[in-house]
Amino acid sequence: GAVVSQHPSRVICKSGTSVKIECRSLDFQATTMFWYRQFPKQSLMLMATSNEGSKATYEQGVEKDKFLINHASLTLSTLTVTSAHPEDSSFYICSATPTDRGTEAFFGQGTRLTVV
């Protein structure tokens, strides 16, 4: 089956610093990847669509200058949370779908970000 790997799984950072989260498709190429965030006992909220070789598409209300997305290759997308604040503490998850798997989304294991 397709595997999406996310790193790191947990990160604690100081307020005002930046954190980079990586999302890799290990055995398939992904021209599109999706980034979600999830607060405790809440749904996954789509933040942005990461497009290989072009700019990401952000959902309404998501600050593109705060959540920088780079999709430089067909197997890697990164999300950088810039100038992090405690309210950015959340569970961030990425997903991708191989072209031969229709609409089935494969998710990374998620990254628990804690800003102190």
Residues near other proteins (CB under 8 A) are 4, 6, 32, 34, 36, 41-46, 49, 91, 93, 95, 97, 102-110, 112
CB of 66 to other proteins, least distance (A): 21
Measure the N-to-C terminal CA separation of the chain; round to a whole number of Å: 37
* Distance from C-alpha of 16 to C-alpha of 13, rounded to nearest angstrom: 9
Residue 83 CB, nearest distance to other proteins (Å)? 26
Q: CB 14 → other proteins: shortest distance, Å?
A: 23
12/15 with CB nearer other proteins: 12
Q: Residue 116: helix, strand or coil by DSSP?
A: coil
Cα–Cα nearest to 100, from 4, 26, 2, 34: 2
